[in-house]
Amino acid sequence: MGLAESIRRSLRYYYLRIVRIKAPAESIALGLAVGVFCSAIPVGQMPVAMLVAWLMRCNAIAAALGTWVTNPLNFAIVFPLFFYIGKTILGVDVPTISWEQVLQVDVFEMFRVGWDWFFLTAFGGFFVTLPASVVAYHIGLRMVRAYHNLRSARLAERRRRKLHHDD
């Protein structure tokens, strides 16, 4: 199986995981949007997304699945991009630090540098994930409604066939 086939199968798997959730379409779509929005957070995305979904009374499973927009396969591209966007928007000059410098920095300096990185990455990411979450909501809503309508039509057809078969 090639890379394209593997990606297609993964996307289909996540599509089916989302549309088969037993909840109203609006709840699923909002949960998905929450997850996409929370995917800008460099660490703890899934627990934060599920907490926000719970607070907003939307589907937490869809929120957890939405966080996979940023995943281990694209972290190395996405988070440096988010960092650069945050750094550019805020106009902050954060010096880069080499591994040799990391080994020589004391713990308090490391927390300060780490906090700067975390804040700038999350801030920049929110500028990307906010519009992406709006798009995810609308696409998710359409996908789930279409799946639910198709499923309802299939069930109605089965019932109709069974009634005619029993006669």
d(Cα 71, Cα 58) in Å, to the nearest integer? 22
22 contacts: CB under 8 Å, gap ≥ 6:
none
- Rounded to two decimals, the pTM is 0.82
Q: Helix, strand, or coil here: 98? A: coil
The pLDDT tens digits along the chain (167 residues) read 788 888 899 889 989 999 999 999 999 999 999 999 999 998 889 999 999 999 999 999 999 999 999 888 888 889 889 989 999 999 887 766 666 766 666 666 666 777 888 888 899 999 999 999 999 999 999 999 999 999 999 998 988 888 877 65
- Nearest in space to 113 (alpha carbons), one of 126, 100, 123, 102: 102
d(Cα 79, Cα 106) in Å, to the nearest integer? 25
Question: Quick one: CA dihedral 52, 86, 125, 107, positive or negative?
Answer: negative
Residue ranges per structural domain of the chain: 3-166
Q: pLDDT value at position 156? A: 87
The answer to whether the beta carbons of residues 86 and 124 sit under 8 Å apart is yes
